[in-house]
């Protein structure tokens, strides 16, 4: 049969170990709070974005675009040159995404 072994540990070592445990718990708590705060910010940003009508989403970007079609999709860049078909396709896709978001979450949702 085996006998029990008792180790005598310096009280200072026990205090240090306990302090490390407390610091680790506090660190995890802060990380969790930071993640929650970040998620709340992302949610608020998405909600704010959803409030912008799709026809207005590009119009505030006058540093990038100078002319828009009837839907509000840019047709000319800030130098007055026509935007390429490939770029217009990307802008239309962004417009459609904003339209979907606006209709599901924005002020016109549920009407």
Q: Tens-of-pLDDT digits for all 111 residues of the chain? A: 677 777 777 889 999 999 999 999 999 999 999 999 999 999 998 888 888 898 898 888 888 998 999 999 999 998 989 999 999 999 999 999 999 988 887 775 654
- pTM equals 0.59
In this structure, the dihedral spanned by the alpha carbons of residues 46, 52, 53 and 57, taken in order and rounded to 10 degrees, is -100
* Residue range(s) defining the domain that contains residue 15: 8-51
Please count the other Cβ atoms lying within 10 Å of the Cβ belonging to residue 91: 20
Q: Is residue 72 one of the residues assigned to a domain?
A: yes
Same domain, yes or no: 46 and 65:
no
Please count the other Cβ atoms lying within 10 Å of the Cβ belonging to residue 35: 10
Same domain, yes or no: 34 and 71:
no
């Amino acid at each position: 049969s085996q006998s029990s072994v008792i180790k005598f540990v310096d009280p200072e070592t026990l205090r240090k170990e306990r302090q490390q445990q407390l610091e680790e718990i506090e660190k995890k708590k802060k990380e969790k709070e930071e993640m929650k705060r970040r998620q709340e910010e992302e949610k608020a940003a998405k909600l704010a974005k959803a409030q912008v009508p799709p026809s207005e989403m590009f119009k505030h970007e006058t540093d990038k675009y100078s002319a828009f079609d009837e839907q509000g999709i840019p047709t000319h860049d800030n130098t007055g040159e026509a935007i390429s078909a490939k770029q217009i396709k990307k802008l239309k896709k962004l417009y459609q995404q904003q339209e979907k978001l606006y209709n599901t979450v924005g002020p016109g949702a549920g009407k």
